[in-house]
Amino acid sequence: MSSDLGASGALAIAAAVRAGKTTRTKSPWDALKRIDAFDGTLNCFTEVLATRALAEARHVDETIARGTDPGPLAGVPFAVKNLLDIQGIPTLAGRRFVRGRTHPRTMPHLSPRYAAQEPC
């Protein structure tokens, strides 16, 4: 397996985290490095929540350290299309006129833990 998990698929990342081959805290760094390297050209992200990703990663590592199963996709960084409301983040949905308007809540179909977090 590549040491750069950012180039790996979701199942490979989750398996590496669960097997203890890497920590969840390392996984977002790999993804953030790839975003930094390629987003200037690709222009895929309107907002990168690095602080939130790292806080969630620490929580997953702590869960694993306690011997609790963190779930099948723990350790997998993900992006949310800017069509879904996330507390504290403007939902642009391709419209420039809503820039700067943030939402008071996160859509409930995102994970309950993610929906309950304050914006970082």
The Cα 103–Cα 111 span in angstroms is 17
Copy the structure tokens of residue 118. Answer: 């304050």
CB-CB contact of 100 with 90 (8 Å): yes
Copy the structure tokens of residue 34. Answer: 């790839």
Predicted local confidence at residue 111, as pLDDT: 57
The Cα 103–Cα 71 span in angstroms is 28
Copy the structure tokens of residue 61. Answer: 């590592």
pLDDT-based confidence at 96, cuts 50/70/90?
low
The Cα 118–Cα 120 span in angstroms is 6
Three-state DSSP state, 63: helix
pTM here is 0.68
The Cα 79–Cα 42 span in angstroms is 14
CB atoms within 10 A of CB 22: 19
Residue type, 33: K
pLDDT digits (tens, 9 = 90+) for 8-50: 788 888 888 878 787 777 778 888 898 999 999 998 888 888 8
Residue type, 115: A
